[in-house]
Structure 1
Amino acid sequence: MTGTGEPDAERLARVFLTRVVEPGDEVGGRWVRERGVLEVARRLREGGEPLPGVTARRWEGLLARAAGAGPERDLETAGAAGVRFVCPGDTEWPGPLDDLGDGRPLGLWVRGRPSLRMWALRSVAVVGARACTEYGAHMATALAAGLAERGWVVVSGGAYGVDGAAHRGALGAGGATVAVLACGVDRPYPRGHTELINRVAAQGLVVGELPPGDHPTPSRFILRNRVIAALTRGTVVVEAAHRSGSLVTARAAQRLGRHTMGVPGPATSGLSAGVHELLRGEAELVTDAAEVVELVGDIGDLAPVRRGPVLPRDLLEPGARRVLAALPARRAAGAREVARGAGTTPDDAIARLYELRALGYVERLGDGWKLTRQAMVSVRGGRSPC
């Protein structure tokens, strides 16, 4: 901004270009890098010889868009909707987006009070299928709530299914969440999520590359995903079929060197097939927020060690456990047979058997030894031995 509060020429040029150049257009990004945003905007306004890398037909299309662009009008419309324009060089600009190179956004339209740059420093993307299962919705909600409770920002795309569940999980936990849209942030999409996206804007941030009032297209959804991947420290895919758009986010995260994670599902579920394919590659398997934070967080942010229940036999000395395991399930056995099975001497086996008898695990039957009923239940978990 200028000292009078008016937008400076470069900011106006970037606003102008968001109306003319499609998100993620690396040709346009190269023009800006090599010639500067002011020169690119001037050439598009004045027409003439095409800039390099586009056909004459494509250049004509860009000029037609440029003729209808009004950056001052877009900024006025955005301001009335409580939306600000953030561009490279601003204090609020998130540095991780620069990793996109020539595909970096020309700027971002931001709705909500928090600083996008500060929130991006500690953020995780949670994405997945639109037509998710009940399991997928549950996992997305639980992951997002757990991340929010740990002070992490949950980023998603505002769509139906996993995206919506992730936003709701973070909001329900009183945490922070960001919705990255493939349309103007003043026009929530999908319309069925208008209330949800308004809640996100009130409690968090709604972000997009497209100017006010612009509509989504299939290609814009795909290109939007690179922003989600670049903005965050890692991406978790909850459910995804083989052709799911959320896999585009995961692969973009991999290319950018971000953590890529997947939540496993039933092997028979087509909605988990894409996630399982990721997990067979470079993605990490996660099942809860603690495991996500262990990957994306600071040194020492470790998930708790998972263990099954402690069984009585776990408290025995290793030698005694081997002797106990060597006893047949359904009959008595002599000390020599038990010693062979346990890999020890008969004398040691006898000593261990008397120890186990004192603890109630075995009983003596003549010259043999047999498991007690207590041992059958506690050692074998109450199941009938095979």
Structure 2
Amino acid sequence: MSAHPDQSVVADEETRVAMAWLSRAVEPGLALMHGFVSAVGPIAAMRSLRSAQAPAPVQALVGARYDEDLVAADLAAAASIGARLVCPGDPEWPADSLHAMSVATAMGVEGIAPPLALWVRGTGDLASLTGRAVAIVGARASTSYGTEQAAQLAFDLAERGWTIVSGGAFGIDAAAHRGALSAAAPTIAVLAGGIDRNYPAAHAALFERIAQDGLLVSEWPPGCAPYRHRFLIRNRLIAALAAGCVVVEASARSGARHTAGRGQELGRPVMAVPGPVTSAMSVGTHALLRDTEARLVTCVAHVIEEIGHLGVDLSPPTRGPDTARDALSSVQARTLEALPTRRPVLPEQLARAAGLSVLEVLSALPALETRGFAECTDGAWRIVRQRSG
């Protein structure tokens, strides 16, 4: 059985029609259906299902939709808004990104089979944009803190050439998309309904902006409603199209946590931005950090280190601001540590206390005096007392 139907050949018109029919007839993500289409091919699969001649378990997945044919209307609706149906074998089919779904399905993970085809609207190239992509997801009812963090992370990642993938929802999703757009970079919104359905309706203008340079992507044909169960199906695709998933705010029961879980099943790095322990919108992110292998991230460098190239995209170590003591040599530092705060001592006494030679101490003391650390009285030395007021 092949990893995906007709993956090595650009889809011809008959195959594209079959894929369009299957996209309406079958809910995505089902291993049984994906395996059937892979085994017999999309054209034979469509004919078998439409004539109710497919194996009973497979036929049952279509239900009453088997005799429905809206392919011409779906393709016309897509064309009217500048959308297209991308199929396996097409140049922009994201085969590399979706391979992990085939692997997870072969390992028995349920509900994570690759898409049969994708409805796409926008000027971007799907394979190119997903070749270097990060998913940022989170709560719809986000706080100002979460919105700011998501937008800043998206902006910083987009400036560094990463495509931001999210779900187009209120809250964190919208902040992530807008952060990427503010960096004049493309972003991808993966929708749970038809690409001609602006859901939420308030994001119609946002979706138009996304389509100008990025992409709107859906597994469902035009006109399909964003039913509740479709959001959960959609989440696996968000996770698959990105090299890693960042969760910025999530409640205890959250779709973002579901996306993170799908990411972990696909072997993707999952990251979470911590929040206030008093915030209900941080309960989910903190649970991810406590109960799973999710990594804590607070800036773009942390994210890139998790998803970037091994040994190349490393974040600098976290350290506090430099102080005057940081510029001291090891001999000067040891001499300073041995200096008394009250009664001055001679260099010979300092040398014994510091475990240094008298010559080393004598060479260090003038530098310490110049930098304001030490003072000398009648040949004896001590630390400079801090003057109050």
* TM-score after normalising by structure 1: 0.83
After superposition, the Cα gap between the structure-2 partners of 1:69 and 1:98, relative to the gap in structure 1 and judged at 3 Å, is farther
1:294 aligns with 2:305: yes
1:239 aligns with 2:244: no
- Please give the secondary structure, in 1, of the residue aligned with 2:57: coil
Cα distance in 2 between the residues matched to 1:291 and 1:49: 49
Deviation at 1:179, TM superposition (A): 0.5
Query: For structure 1, which runs of at least 5 residues remain unmatched after alignment?
Result: 1-5
Deviation at 1:198, TM superposition (A): 1.5
1:315 aligns with 2:320: no
After superposition, the Cα gap between the structure-2 partners of 1:209 and 1:347, relative to the gap in structure 1 and judged at 3 Å, is same
Between 274-283 and 69-78, report the one with greater CA deviation: 274-283
| Contact 1:146–1:290 (CA under 8 A) maintained in structure 2 | no
After superposition, the Cα gap between the structure-2 partners of 1:339 and 1:162, relative to the gap in structure 1 and judged at 3 Å, is farther
1:196 aligns with 2:206: yes
Structure 2 counterpart of 1:3:
none
| Contact 1:44–1:63 (CA under 8 A) maintained in structure 2 | no
Structure 2 counterpart of 1:86:
86
**Percent identity between the two aligned chains:** 45
Deviation at 1:273, TM superposition (A): 3.1
1:184 aligns with 2:189: no
Aligned partner letter, 1:97? L
* TM-score after normalising by structure 2: 0.83
- Please give the secondary structure, in 2, of the residue aligned with 1:52: helix
Aligned partner letter, 1:294? E
Query: For structure 2, which runs of at least 5 residues remain unmatched after alignment?
Result: 1-10, 106-112
1:157 corresponds to which of 149, 162, 167: 167
Cα distance in 2 between the residues matched to 1:113 and 1:49: 38
Cα distance in 1 between the residues matched to 2:318 and 2:266: 31
Between 358-367 and 180-189, report the one with greater CA deviation: 358-367
- Say what the alpha-carbon RMSD is for the aligned residues: 3.0
Structure 2 counterpart of 1:100:
101
Structure 2 counterpart of 1:362:
374
Cα distance in 1 between the residues matched to 2:318 and 2:132: 26
Aligned length: 365
Structure 1 counterpart of 2:4:
none
Cα distance in 1 between the residues matched to 2:340 and 2:360: 14
1:141 aligns with 2:151: yes
1:270 corresponds to which of 271, 277, 280: 280
Structure 2 counterpart of 1:284:
295
After superposition, the Cα gap between the structure-2 partners of 1:307 and 1:366, relative to the gap in structure 1 and judged at 3 Å, is same
Aligned partner letter, 2:294? A
- Please give the secondary structure, in 2, of the residue aligned with 1:182: coil
Between 229-238 and 252-261, report the one with greater CA deviation: 252-261
Deviation at 1:10, TM superposition (A): 2.1
Structure 2 counterpart of 1:170:
180
Deviation at 1:303, TM superposition (A): 3.6
